[in-house]
Amino acid sequence: MRRRVLTPHRGLSTGIGYYFSGMEEVRTQVNVTVRGIPDDLIGKPPFLGAHSIGGLVLHIGEAEWFWMQMVVSGHGLTEEDKKAPYWDVLEDVDRVARKGYTTEFCLQEIEKIRNLTRDKLFSFNDKDLERIITFERKGETTEYSLRWILHRLIDHEAQHKGQILMLKRLMAL
């Protein structure tokens, strides 16, 4: 009999651990979906105006890095940060192909970001889930709870996983 349960990630507080386990479940699904895509196709958009699968994978990492490093941790974006393979990747549709990024490279980049996220979450406890984080962007201030941010990261990655699956079908992969 198969059993599907979600348990909190070991070492994290219970509530944060459940969110992180949810993030890891979706990440596993992304890895299974993307692994095995030939390197010559990972950076190729399937039609004009589409993003490449590699670009979407790196964008998943970019969003997680933005939320966890900039919003949650308060890191200010530097010129060095902007040189990261994932930064603004969807604005440069040809970057993955032009730079010769492989499928494995894209997956390793988002794994590095996930490790930063996990390390950051070890510094929080469940009371921090409701803590309000204020972030200003483009002159507009918004308040977020850590709970909302973690939920948003799960939702964002799951949505792009569906997009990647659709692109794979269009590319007959």
How do residues 142-161 score in pLDDT, each as one tens digit? Answer: 999 999 999 999 999 999 99
List the domain boundaries for the chain: 14-170
Alpha carbon distance 58, 84 (integer Å): 10
Q: What is the pLDDT of residue 33?
A: 98
CATH number, span 14-170: 1.20.120.450
The answer to whether 163 and 56 are in contact (CB under 8 A) is yes
* Mean pLDDT estimate for the chain: 97
pLDDT digits (tens, 9 = 90+) for 93-105: 999 999 999 999 9
The pLDDT-based confidence of 132 (bands split at 50, 70, 90) is very high
Q: What is the pLDDT of residue 22?
A: 98
The pLDDT-based confidence of 43 (bands split at 50, 70, 90) is very high
Q: Does the structure show a pLDDT above 90 at 5?
A: no
The answer to whether 106 and 83 are in contact (CB under 8 A) is no
Q: What is the pLDDT of residue 35?
A: 97
Mean pLDDT within 8-36: 97
Q: Which two tokens mark 75?
A: 């890191």
pTM of the predicted structure, to 2 decimals: 0.95
Q: What is the pLDDT of residue 3?
A: 87
Alpha carbon distance 89, 62 (integer Å): 8
pLDDT digits (tens, 9 = 90+) for 46-91: 999 999 999 999 999 999 999 999 999 999 999 999 999 999 999 9
8, with CB counted inside 10 A (0-12, 13-18, 19+), is middle
Q: What is the pLDDT of residue 166?
A: 97
Alpha carbon distance 35, 39 (integer Å): 10
